[in-house]
Structure formats: structure tokens, C-alpha cells
Amino acid sequence: MEAEIFALIMFGATIVALIMGFPVALTLAGSALFFAYLGDWFGIFNLGMLNVFPLRILGIMKNEPLIAIPLFVFMGVMLEKSNIAGDLLHSMGRLFGNLRGGLGISVLLVGALMAASTGIVGATVVTMGLMSMPVMLRAGYSPQLSSGLICASGTLGQIIPPSIVLIVLGDILQGANEQASMARGVLVPEPVTAIDLFAGALLPGLLLVSLYIALQIALAFFFPASCPAINEDTDNLQGEDKSPSIFAVIVPPLILIFLVLGSILAGIATPTESGAVGAVGATLLAFSKRKLSIATLMLVARNSVKITSMVFLILIGASLFSLVFRGFGGDSMIEEFLINLPGGKVGAFLVVMLVMFLMGFFLDFLEIIFIMVPLVGPPLIMMGFDPVWLGIMISVNLQTSFLTPPFGFSLFYLRGVAPPEVSTRHIYSGVMPFIALQIFALGIFWMFPQTILWLPDLIFG
């Protein structure tokens, strides 16, 4: 029992340190080492378990699907830094701008594409905030609606494939599924891959985008003053010439996304191979539009290395944390706790979702899945929850958390780049309708699991 108490203290101390702002990877690894040596001092932890850690790092290095992460990051950063995303927003605005709410629809579509390419909430919200917030305010959009559209579209990167979040989550769920299968006596479990999650996330992602667009259309109908059509003064969104064809700007990025995602779902390419296609395609796209220079290429490479290093450093730190946590018997304690909760599997699932939702106020998506999914995934899968369905529900849940005041991450990101005339109150009130849509979507996925599982079953049998 003393070892399990140590596991709880280690978990709580780590969460407190993360909330205080200490670096994630160093906090995970540092707290694990500290409590491992402290446990050895009290005779309740075997330091010999740490000898397994190099093998875990080797396993991460040999994990081929994870190679897709830097490739997809490079693709998204290239689309952002070469200003292809800005041109896309400009052209979308010209396409829909003569309609009330048309610019809002453009922001949603471009934000969804950018979010899917990068998969990092902060990067997408900041980029869309800088690009589209001044344009929307100049066009007469209300600060509340502008804020809600940007925050909501920025969080779509959690769920819309191809996304590095789904790649990482697929790898962790695969480990959780193997552990749950071994506990049930199944020696050869069904694999859970990023491809499965891509297929499972496609319809939910499109549903969320459709709900957002439907909300924008309804607001344009009932509250036209909040989202007027673009007039002649604001039609030229970035002060550029209108001569380039709208479709010449819109179609190439859409073809690139289609090739990347379609090749994965059709089984033609693995996520790693399609990530390479996306990285090369984004580079060629920037070159063809004369947006690529040596300075831009260096900036893209530098940012891609920073983001990729952050992801893998957190992965290594989380691996050490989970190893020590299991050494204290924390995994058995969590499994026993969830199994004995009132309400059975439903009660256990709701508690896990609530805890993750609250953690989303203080921690980033990657931090939460690296810490929580290895711990709660195996017992939930043992209870009968499909790992693909579970992964998508976790993604949408955290997406909702990042939108929810007062601590939602995307709200803080937008607050940092919003003009002075946009207040925190505007941002908070603007996201409320989108939060309601997120909760509505979660209810649909709960009542109709096939909205998530139908496409993976159709494609992969």
C-alpha cells in the first residue's frame, strides 16, 4: 500500500509542477527519477527497473509510424510560413465574401485545413488570429463571433486528419490495447494504428466543421449585423491584386491534402510515406507560387525541428514516468479504482473524461495523452470500449476543454494576438455556442458509435 501512495504522490506532484509552468519533458523525467530513488531509499521500489528504460527509448527510435511526425510538422509549417494559408484565406474570402457570413465560413474552412496540417492548437490559433482577426473586424464582424470562429477552427487540429496528434495517440493506444489484450489472455490482439484513427476521425471531424458552418449560416440569417457581406473596401483582404484565379489558389492545397489523406485511407501509403509526400508537395507548392526562399526554408526547418524535438522529448519523459509509476503499482491501483466505480464501465468512462477535461485547462493535449492514456487506456479497453472510438472521444473531449472558459488554452492563445478592441469577455462569450456544439457532437458519438467506427470497418473490414 505504501508503494501505491507513492504513486499517487508522484502523480500529484508532477501535475502541480506542470501547472506551475516547469518544462513538461524535464518535469516528467525528473519527478520519475526523484521518486524512484526516494522509493528505493524506503525499500518500496526496485531501481533495477530503470535498466529497462534504454530499451524503451530504443523502441521509440525503431517505431516507424512516429517518423511521420516531423514530416507532417514540416508540411504544416511550410504552408504557414510560405503564406500559402494566407493566400488561401484571401481567396476563400473572395469566393464567399459576397454572402453574409461568407468570410466566417472561409475562416472555418482555412482554419480546419491549417489545423489538420499542423495538429498544434497554439500554432493554428495564433496564425489564424494574426491573419483573419483584423480582416474580420474590418469587414464589420462582431468581436465575439470573430473570436469564436478562430478559436473553434484552431482546435479542429485535434480531430481532423492528417494530424500529428492522432499519430501519437495511435501509438499510445496500440500499447494500451496490447496491455489490455494480454490481461485478457489474447496473445495476438487486433492492431490499433494511426491509420485506424485517421479513418475514425474523418466523419466526426467533418461533422464538427459542418456544425460550425451551420451555426455561422444561422447567425447570418438571424443576426445579420454580426457577420455582414464583404464590401468593396474590405474585399481585397490583404491589399493584394485580384488577378490570380481563385481556384488556382484554392485547388492545389486541397489536392495536396487529398493526396496525403487519400493515399493513407486507400492503403497506398503508410502515414510515414504520405507524410513525405505532404512535405515535398508543400515545398513544391511554395516554390511554384514563388513563396519559397532560402530564408523561408531555413525558418521552416528550424521550426519543424523545434516542434518535433518537443514532441519526442515529452514522449521520452512520459515513458520514464509511466515506467516508474508502474513500478510503484500505480497501474493496478487505477485499474482497480475504475473497475469498482459505481455505474460500471459507463461510470469509469465518465470519470476519465471528466478528469481529462479538467486537465485540459492546465495541460496541452500531448502532455495529457502521454500521462493519462497509458494509465487509463488498458482498463477502459478491458471493460469493452473500442480503442479507436475511445481515442476519438478523448480527442473531442479535450478539444472542448481547450475552448472552455476560464482556462481554455485556445482562449489564451487568441488573447495574446487579438487587437486591443477585442476583450477577454468578447472571447469568452464568442466560444460559448461552439462549446455547445462540441458537447452535442460528443452526445452523438456516444449514442451512435458507428459515426466513428463505420469508416474504419468499411475500409479495413
pLDDT tens digits, residue range 154-195? 888 778 887 778 888 888 898 888 888 887 777 667 778 888
Domain borders along the chain are 2-460
Structural element, H or E, at residue 242: none
* pLDDT at 116 (0 to 100): 64
Mean pLDDT lowest among 103-117, 313-327, 420-434, 443-457: 103-117
| pTM recorded for the entire structure | 0.82
* pLDDT at 46 (0 to 100): 85
C-alpha 280/C-alpha 300 separation (Å) is 13
Q: Give every CB contact of residue 243 below 8 A, 6+ residues apart in sequence.
A: none
pLDDT band at 204 (very low <50, low <70, confident <90, very high): very high
Express each pLDDT in 363-409 by its tens digit.
777 778 888 888 888 889 988 899 999 999 998 998 888 888 876 77
* pLDDT at 190 (0 to 100): 79
Please return the burial class of 104, using the count of CB atoms within 10 Å of its CB with bins 0-12, 13-18 and 19+: buried
Mean pLDDT lowest among 18-27, 29-38, 170-179, 217-226: 18-27
* pLDDT at 238 (0 to 100): 44
The 3-state DSSP class for residue 236 equals coil
CA-CA-CA-CA torsion for 281, 282, 284, 290, nearest 10 degrees? 160
Highest mean pLDDT out of 93-102, 163-172, 208-217, 356-365: 208-217
C-alpha 424/C-alpha 449 separation (Å) is 36
